[in-house]
Chain A
Amino acid sequence: MTSLGTESKVQLGLVIDLDTCVGCHACVIACKGWNTENYGTALSDMDAYGEKPSGTFLNRVHSYEVQPDTGAAQTVHFPKSCLHCTDAPCVTVCPTGASYKRAEDGIVLVNEDACMGCGLCAWACPYGARELDKAAGVMKKCTLCVDRIYNENLPEEDREPACVRTCPAGARHFGDLADEDSAVSKLVSERGGMDLMPELGTRPVNKYLPPRPKDTGEEIDILAPLLAPVATEASGFLGWLDRTLEKI
């Protein structure tokens, strides 16, 4: 068992806007590209061109349909990666100390040198956010691009996770969620940001901004007068036109 240590004063994480995410998978592939080339071993793809391709991804987008009580069904795109939980069960379950939550910024990482690929952490994670790399035999998970966000070889504006930098719709935000004045904390506060499955007591750092209500048009009642007819047929309309043109 691994201890979580003292709770970090900085809790870096993501805020993901489900009202804006179009489900394009840009974040999935940017993550794959950066993290196969960087932190730890490559993210492998088994049977890459075959019958059952199966690769390691640290971030995936799931799509769900929602049927409201009234009105049309809706589609919600739901990107999911490690939530960097404050009470991370994947850390406490690790028998070797490979999984840990960083004291300085709260990022949950796997020390691949110490990981024996037992998979207990993936079993303990209620979000399914960890994947065992089949080629390397070590556990893989979102690093919050720990090798980007402090990277002095990158321009300052690029020191953010690859998924955030690439998101075309701007649906992903990165920052310190322990700081109430941070842009991400304000966004969470303004938009009613939510924890994923709070009942599990994992206290995720990442937050989701819920979709805004949809298909509410019929509730608008100020519009009816706008369509009061000026005429019902062409000749009357042209009469209206002449009267109106006089006024312009």
Chain B
Amino acid sequence: MFSEPKVETSPTVSDEVRKTTCYMCACRCGINVHMKSGKVAYIEGNRDHPVNKGVLCAKGSSGIMQVNAPSRLKSPLKRVGPRGSGAFEEISWEEALEIAGARLGDIRRKNPEKLAFFTGRDQSQSFTSLWAQSFGTPNYAAHGGFCSVNMAAAGIYTMGGAFWEFGQPDWDHTKMFMLFGVAEDHDSNPIKMGLGKLKKRGAKVVGVNPIRTGYNAVADEWVGITPGTDGLFITALIHELMKAGKIDLHYLAQYTNAPVLLNSDANSPEFGLFLRDSDQKPLVIDRNSGKLVAFDTKGIRPDLNGQHKIGGTTHTTVFHKMAETYLAPEHDAENVAERCGVPVKTIRRLAAELAHVAFEQEISLPIKWTDFRGEQHETMTGRPVSFHAMRGISAHANGFQTCRALHILQIILGTVEVPGGFRFKPPYPKSAEIHPKPHCGVTPDAPLDGPHLGFVHGPEDLALKPDGTPARIDKAFTWENPMSSHGLMHMVISNAHAGDPYKIDTLFLYMANMAWNSSMNSKGVMEMLTDKDENGDYVIPNIIYSDAYASEMVAYADLVLPDTTYLERHDCISLLDRPICEADAAADAIRWPVIEPDRDVRGFQSVLCDLGARLGLPNFTNEDGSAKYKDYADYIVNHQRKPGIGPLAGFRGDGQERGRGGVNPEQLDRYIENGGFFVEHIEKEASYYKPWNMAYQDWAVGMGLFDAPSPYLFQLYVEPMRKFQLAAEGHGERQPPEHLRERIKDKLAPLPVWQASVDESFPIHALTQRPMAMYHSWGSQNAWLRQIHGVNPLYVPTRIWEAHRFQEGDWARVTSPHGEITVPVAHQAALNNNTVWTWNAIGKRKGTWGLDEKAPEATKGFLLNHLIHELMPPKGDGLRWANSDPVTGQAAWFDLRVAIEKTSAPEVSKPNFDTIKSPIEPAAKDLAWKVGS
């Protein structure tokens, strides 16, 4: 007779649970790290955490394979062979810091702009920027310029916040959700959790994306749009809705600049600018009194169709201009359908569905609130349509205007900051006008004259030298891309190599794999990094790089500063930076060393504290010359941006103060006791209508998000863009160079309209996206994740698959105006019929990331980056035209067009590069991972 064995159903799970913040992607979920005998045994989501509420994605759950990855760097490295060879010797931290300190000190004393300090997937930008500002170089930014600055900048200029960290759909109330161009891993767990809620309620999900995978696979309706035409599709929806009068006139009149009066005299130097009073407040006509009044006057009903004459100059409203613009027949569904690859009837039906849900399924929450004009409201009205979008629509040269158009669509439907619509997360909403402006004033041996990055409001704010040339190495905030709020990291190496606008001495990079998947034209970048001048010296003289892993970029550094993994370090996820707030709460978090490094590595931010003290930088040095912060943890607790405001908002002062409060030496302990995070909920009456809701404004001031209530209008019409156009038309003192005049007139339209952004000589669109289970190149070293995504074929739609008679196992030669690659192909039917795509950053260079040379990532994997140049093809004018959005400088990754042909299978994908000598030991072959017995 069979008897069941006894199963131990209550084994000890762990000795201890340490709660910290994940860093397997940018999401920053809370994690419970289960420890056994001081080692990491198991990682799961933290149920109490505001971001993930217990769930955790594949990346997060595989963190154990990341912190134990064989690719981890072990020690500081000094280059001993030619750049790019991977030949290094291990040196001590003291020697490394002396080398770096001496070189950087020399630069700072002579000309601080010779240092270009750029960080990649950095989550400490408020800290790294303070360091760069204290150093005095104007050349600092993080990765936003090659990521999604269009999304951020378009959102902030239009409505004081954007998607991703800035806001979220009202998952609990929305009834129709449209998702545009979101890479599968973006806002990873929150979007999946939100979609789960919508699915449970039976709300409709519409996915607008050329590729039907991931979120688009579960969408109730898929719109397989042609890449780069989202703006055209969106303006057609705007056209159809306006034409039918299905717009929220009350919302537009009360909360946006639609009723603001514009100078309508084409001959005026102020043509297209707002009519303002002596306090510079934009003016509207009040329908109650018929009078011209400031937009924020108490009790007014701003007139969307107001008119006002001063002298001979007529002023009509922004809304009038919108009607002229969007009712034009070019925006009719009939005239865009073919180009978008979306049938006319689908465009019109979606417009009708939006109207139906927004206006016939209106919701009302019984919450009283008071607006900034003093008007009291008994309820909060909601239009339960919501939108979300990300890099898919922003990484085009027309991306800024496309993102703007999407916000216009949301706003005319009255769905932003209302129940069921899109909601901001603190510290947003925040008008572009209360953000800093960019600074570029350089003085040897002194800090920069202010923060590097910010929001320009006209030509006077550009980062130009007195002679009109770009002040920054990446040419951010210049006439080439005036509103480049995140800089242009993708242009730094190219510009430094070309000496355009000037030469630099030291390129200092953190967590940015610029010699591989984070650059356009990766092969060209490798050549620039190794290129020598006529004297035999490197054109870019000195490169310092910090990374935790043996990435492709490591081989191109002269000095490598090895970083820790995310479980071995302090970090703060700060409200001063990229916060983790929810729409109903402000929140921030820490990382802390749940394990100690077993190698000679140091957290990069702690290294910057040390280096800052060695260089005598203000903010990093005490009056007696000693180091101000012993490490990053010390900075997190003791730094104050202004009195009472520090990197962390929680447990300040005596431990009870939140937002504002003095330094609490025990702050990190309080965070650890609280599960690694801090959360402060927003009271109910402040929960929606935040830009105009005085309860929210007062709460935000109390939390230290800003210093005085700062309500504002949504900027359907972005006046700063018109100011750049006016300059291009010849008005004002600061004038663009002649070769950019027409482009500025054309591209900086203050109301967004779509323009083609691609060279159409190659027939097929080519895209990349990141999978849900892999983050950039980090996943490749992860023994578990690489079994899910170890190969990245080029996915080909049925039309092209059949036309070329492709078969399973075939390879294709793919060409673009810039180059060619030879890669494996696979068929995908659920794909726009003129688009091919692949997973981003699966392909690896041989010898990197601790992988065997025969790893499929290095033999069959590939990058589309080789087909994308950082410059547009030469125009014969001798100028270098960046492959970027002319408004913001956003890298136009997704404007890529290619041709494809079948070819015989090579041994490895092409281009194929020499093996890099690895600075780390070969990995163990087999794993049977168990920490406990």
Q: CB within 8 Å of B: which residues of A?
A: 2-3, 5, 17, 19-26, 28-30, 32-34, 36-38, 41-51, 53-55, 57, 63, 65, 67, 72-77, 97, 100, 102-103, 109, 111, 113-114, 135-136, 146-147, 149-154, 157, 162, 165-171, 211-212, 214-218, 220, 222-224, 226-234, 237-238, 240-242, 244-245, 248
- Closest-CB distance, B97 to chain A (whole angstroms): 32
User: Inside 8 A of B851's CB, which chain A residues have their CB?
Assistant: 49-50
What are 15 A-to-B residue pairs whose CB atoms are below 8 Å?
A: A24-B57, A26-B57, A26-B772, A33-B62, A42-B929, A43-B928, A48-B923, A51-B852, A147-B10, A166-B45, A166-B55, A168-B189, A215-B222, A223-B353, A231-B327
Q: Is the CB of B772 within 8 A of A25?
A: yes
- Closest-CB distance, B213 to chain A (whole angstroms): 6
Q: Is the CB of B196 within 8 A of A49?
A: no
- Closest-CB distance, A149 to chain B (whole angstroms): 8
B212 CB contact (under 8 Å) in A38, A72, A223: A72
Residue of A nearest to B52 (CB): A168
Contact A5 to B245, CB < 8 A, known contacts A28-B788, A48-B783: no
Q: Is the CB of A241 within 8 A of B349?
A: no
User: Inside 8 A of B808's CB, which chain A residues have their CB?
Assistant: none
Residue of B nearest to A38 (CB): B11
Q: Is the CB of A218 within 8 A of B926?
A: no
For the complex of A and B, 8 pairs with smallest distance between CB atoms: A73-B829, A168-B192, A223-B352, A170-B196, A75-B217, A230-B245, A51-B854, A24-B772
User: Inside 8 A of B266's CB, which chain A residues have their CB?
Assistant: none
Contact A220 to B349, CB < 8 A, known contacts A30-B56, A245-B249: yes
Residue of A nearest to B36 (CB): A37
A57 to B217, CA, bound (A): 24
Q: Is the CB of A22 within 8 A of B214?
A: yes
Q: Check if B250 is an interface residue, CB within 8 A of chain A.
A: yes
B2 CB contact (under 8 Å) in A43, A100, A211, A216: A100
Most buried by B among A41, A216, A228: A228
Q: Is the CB of B349 within 8 A of A73?
A: no
Most buried by A among B12, B62, B253: B62
Chain B residues 346-361 with CB under 8 Å of chain A are 346, 348-353, 355-356
Q: Is the CB of A229 within 8 A of B62?
A: no
A170 to B12, CA, bound (A): 27
Q: Check if B740 is an interface residue, CB within 8 A of chain A.
A: no
User: Inside 8 A of A72's CB, which chain B residues have their CB?
Assistant: 212, 222, 224, 830
A109 to B188, CA, bound (A): 33
Binary contact readout B442-482 vs A (1 if CB under 8 angstroms, 0 otherwise) = 00000000000000000000000000000000000000000
A24 CB contact (under 8 Å) in B52, B192, B304, B830: B192
A234 CB contact (under 8 Å) in B287, B323, B829: B323
Residue of B nearest to A50 (CB): B852
A51 to B58, CA, bound (A): 22
- Closest-CB distance, A172 to chain B (whole angstroms): 10
Chain B residues 849-897 with CB under 8 Å of chain A are 850-852, 854-856, 859
User: Inside 8 A of B245's CB, which chain A residues have their CB?
Assistant: 230, 237, 240, 244
User: Inside 8 A of B184's CB, which chain A residues have their CB?
Assistant: 22, 24
Which segment, of B236-244, B396-404, B432-440, B655-663, faces chain A? B236-244
User: Inside 8 A of A29's CB, which chain B residues have their CB?
Assistant: 58-59, 61-62, 773, 784-785
Most buried by B among A43, A48, A220, A229: A48
Q: Check if B310 is an interface residue, CB within 8 A of chain A.
A: no
A244 CB contact (under 8 Å) in B13, B249, B927: B249
User: Inside 8 A of A170's CB, which chain B residues have their CB?
Assistant: 193, 196-197, 199-200
A157 to B54, CA, bound (A): 11
Q: Check if B536 is an interface residue, CB within 8 A of chain A.
A: no
Q: Is the CB of B783 within 8 A of A229?
A: no
Q: Is the CB of B244 within 8 A of A226?
A: yes
- Closest-CB distance, B502 to chain A (whole angstroms): 43
Most buried by B among A26, A47, A165, A166: A26
Chain B residues 40-96 with CB under 8 Å of chain A are 41-45, 47, 52, 54-62, 64, 70
User: Inside 8 A of B240's CB, which chain A residues have their CB?
Assistant: 227
Interface residues in B, total, Cβ within 8 A: 111
User: Inside 8 A of B212's CB, which chain A residues have their CB?
Assistant: 72-75
- Closest-CB distance, A242 to chain B (whole angstroms): 6
Q: Is the CB of A230 within 8 A of B243?
A: yes
B787 CB contact (under 8 Å) in A55, A103, A152, A238: A55
Q: Is the CB of A238 within 8 A of B193?
A: no
Residue of A nearest to B832 (CB): A72
- Closest-CB distance, B192 to chain A (whole angstroms): 4
Q: Is the CB of A49 within 8 A of B930?
A: no
Chain B residues 304-335 with CB under 8 Å of chain A are 304-305, 319-320, 323-324, 327
Chain B residues 750-775 with CB under 8 Å of chain A are 772-773
Contact A45 to B44, CB < 8 A, known contacts A102-B4, A245-B287: no
Q: Check if B8 is an interface residue, CB within 8 A of chain A.
A: yes
User: Inside 8 A of B214's CB, which chain A residues have their CB?
Assistant: 22-24
Q: Is the CB of A21 within 8 A of B218?
A: yes
Q: Check if B215 is an interface residue, CB within 8 A of chain A.
A: yes
A28 to B352, CA, bound (A): 40
Q: Check if B932 is an interface residue, CB within 8 A of chain A.
A: yes
User: Inside 8 A of A20's CB, which chain B residues have their CB?
Assistant: 195-196, 199-200, 218
Q: Is the CB of A150 within 8 A of B54?
A: no
Q: Is the CB of B4 within 8 A of A168?
A: no
B195 CB contact (under 8 Å) in A22, A43, A147: A22
Residue of A nearest to B216 (CB): A75
- Closest-CB distance, A36 to chain B (whole angstroms): 5
Contact A74 to B830, CB < 8 A, known contacts A45-B927, A48-B924, A147-B7: yes
User: Inside 8 A of A73's CB, which chain B residues have their CB?
Assistant: 212, 798, 829-831
Contact A237 to B323, CB < 8 A, known contacts A37-B41, A150-B10, A168-B189: yes
- Closest-CB distance, A159 to chain B (whole angstroms): 10
User: Inside 8 A of A244's CB, which chain B residues have their CB?
Assistant: 245, 249
Q: Is the CB of B349 within 8 A of A218?
A: yes
A171 to B184, CA, bound (A): 17
User: Inside 8 A of A34's CB, which chain B residues have their CB?
Assistant: 42
Q: Check if B303 is an interface residue, CB within 8 A of chain A.
A: yes
Q: Is the CB of A36 within 8 A of B349?
A: no
Q: Is the CB of B356 within 8 A of A226?
A: yes
Q: Check if B281 is an interface residue, CB within 8 A of chain A.
A: no
A153 to B786, CA, bound (A): 32
Q: Is the CB of B44 within 8 A of A166?
A: yes
A153 CB contact (under 8 Å) in B12, B215, B788, B925: B12
Q: Is the CB of A212 within 8 A of B784?
A: no
Knowing that A32-B61, A38-B11, A53-B783 touch, tell me 5 more A-B residue pairs with CB under 8 angstroms.
Answer: A24-B184, A55-B783, A136-B928, A153-B10, A226-B355
Q: Check if B9 is an interface residue, CB within 8 A of chain A.
A: yes
User: Inside 8 A of B926's CB, which chain A residues have their CB?
Assistant: 44-48, 135
Residue of B nearest to A2 (CB): B2
Q: Is the CB of B923 within 8 A of A227?
A: no
A41 CB contact (under 8 Å) in B324, B927, B928: B928
- Closest-CB distance, A216 to chain B (whole angstroms): 8
A67 to B788, CA, bound (A): 24
A160 to B347, CA, bound (A): 44
- Closest-CB distance, A11 to chain B (whole angstroms): 16
Q: Is the CB of B7 within 8 A of A109?
A: yes
Q: Check if B221 is an interface residue, CB within 8 A of chain A.
A: yes
Binary contact readout B711-731 vs A (1 if CB under 8 angstroms, 0 otherwise) = 000000000000000000000
A67 to B193, CA, bound (A): 28
User: Inside 8 A of B221's CB, which chain A residues have their CB?
Assistant: 214-217
- Closest-CB distance, B677 to chain A (whole angstroms): 18
A49 CB contact (under 8 Å) in B9, B829, B852: B852
Contact A33 to B323, CB < 8 A, known contacts A114-B5, A153-B13: no
Chain B residues 192-210 with CB under 8 Å of chain A are 192-193, 195-197, 199-200
Binary contact readout B401-441 vs A (1 if CB under 8 angstroms, 0 otherwise) = 00000000000000000000000000000000000000000
